[in-house]
Amino acid sequence: MIYDTTIIGGGPSGLMAAISAAEHGARTLLLEKGSKLGTKLAISGGGRCNVTNRLSQEEIIRHIPGNGKFMYSAFSVFNNEDIIAFFENLGVKLKEEDHGRMFPVSNSAKSVVDALVNRMDALHVDVQRQTPVEAVHYGEEVHTILLKDGRHIETRTIVIAAGGKSVPHTGSTGDGYAWAKKAGHTITELFPTEVALTSNEAFVREKQLQGLSLRDVSLSVLNKKSKPIITHQMDMLFTHFGISGPAVLRCSQYAVKEMMRGHKPVMMHLDTLPEENEHELQQRLMKQAKDNPKKSVKNLLKGLVPERFLAFILNRLHMLDEQKAGELSNEAVRQLVGEMKHFTFAVNGSLPIEKAFVTGGGVSIKEIVPNTMQSKKMHGLYFCGEILDIHGYTGGYNITCALVTGRLAGMNAATAAKTEHAG
């Protein structure tokens, strides 16, 4: 038996590709090497599954710093609003949360995965789990997939949805890159994105700030000339190895890319009070110190920044907690405000790609037709999801790319298979 379309990989993009191919009349096979389907969906959004984002198309593309513009053509065929309608039609009601993030009303990723699996069943997609692929042989008319158990599968079209290299316990261990290369594709350099950063600073080594979380701070990655490359205002966390938390994850790819260019270490700039004007804050504190000369410096500054961070700054500036406000010189106030507004430190690396949320790099988008996901190098070959060199911030952007590219890959693979077959 020859399949019309075979999808390799049962993650978000693979499940969508299988449904899309079957809906377009293809005899469809889905191969998944693990025992479960949709494992990445199941852990996304903290197990609640952030299926997409409701922001405008422009905003979504702005949140996909890794080749987001490539998605314009795809969005003209199937976009985030279509994803929402697709799930609602499957009976999965969605709700909108902060920053446009869309979650199932059930708050359970399982309801999303179950809906996709049930839809594949209804469409008679042949699903084979625990079926790892050994190799792919590209033929003139029919391609052959060689399985690890020795079986051969013949198929008119192939959709590679095997993921990247991050979160390997979900099955994305980079298997697909070799099959892409064999078809003549370029794999751009892989790197971790949405990843925690490591630092050798003494305060990190000595765990002085370990476990301290800072709310709504402004974090920047600086270039060699100490100019900000990117700034994000969100929460962050100091850890035993460096820094983590939302602001860090968003800044991480810029720091990692700087290091890949040989700029090591990379300097980070932290403003713990982004809403405060520096000069006004200095004036206010000078006045408060004058009005309350007997107050300790610690109490004078109480509530501005977390206590642990304040104690750390005072120590760094060789000031005592109990020093009286009346003893503070204007210069000392300027220094204190400077530390709160311009805390600068070095990062020297990141956690490994396996610990990253998202893989940067992948199959070069220059070799993919943007409105069909078809390979420009090999007939009957399509790509979707994280194997492509496209990466976004967390918040439903990567899953949006996965579902949109999966939709297009499945639909166009099915159409091509039927055309070939008829021919």
Order the strands of the 94-96 sheet from edge to edge. 52-53, 101-104, 94-96
Residues 281-340 pLDDT 10s = 999 999 999 999 999 999 999 999 999 999 999 999 998 877 899 999 999 999 999 999
Same domain, 168 and 308: no
Cβ 357 vs Cβ 194: under 8 Å = yes
Look at residue 43 and tell me whether its pLDDT is greater than 90: no
Look at residue 151 and tell me whether its pLDDT is greater than 80: yes
The backbone torsions φ and ψ at residue 234, rounded to the nearest 5 degrees and listed phi first, read: -160, -170
Range of the domain at 279: 196-350
Same domain, 222 and 292: yes
d(CA 174, CA 397): 21
Say what the pLDDT of residue 2 is. Answer: 97
Start-to-end CA span in the chain (Å): 18
Average per-residue pLDDT for the chain: 96
Tokens of 381: 């070959």
Long-range contacts of residues 317-324, Cβ cutoff 8 Å, at least 24 apart: 321/296, 321/297, 322/296, 322/297, 322/298, 323/296, 323/297, 324/293, 324/294, 324/295, 324/296, 324/297
- End-of-domain residue from the set 325, 350, 375: 350
Look at residue 86 and tell me whether its pLDDT is greater than 70: yes
Tokens of 127: 């699903």
Look at residue 56 and tell me whether its pLDDT is greater than 70: yes
Same domain, 258 and 321: yes
Query: Which secondary structure element, helix H or strand E, spans residue 290, and what is its range?
Result: helix 278-291
Say what the pLDDT of residue 390 is. Answer: 98
Same domain, 273 and 312: yes
- Domain with 26 in it: what CATH number? 3.50.50.60
- End-of-domain residue from the set 287, 318, 350: 350
Across 80-151, the runs of DSSP E, i.e. the strands, are 94-96, 101-104, 126-128, 133-137, 143-147
Domains contained in the chain, number? 2
Confidence of residue 378 (pLDDT cuts 50, 70, 90): very high
- End-of-domain residue from the set 302, 324, 350: 350
Look at residue 423 and tell me whether its pLDDT is greater than 70: no
Same domain, 323 and 340: yes
Roughly what angle, to the nearest 10 degrees, separates helices 278-291 and 330-341?
140
Same domain, 316 and 242: yes
Same domain, 111 and 183: yes
The pTM for the full model equals 0.94
- Domain with 279 in it: what CATH number? 1.10.8.100
Alpha helices in 90-143 (DSSP H): 109-122
Residues 159-188 pLDDT 10s = 999 999 998 888 899 999 999 999 999 999
Same domain, 122 and 144: yes
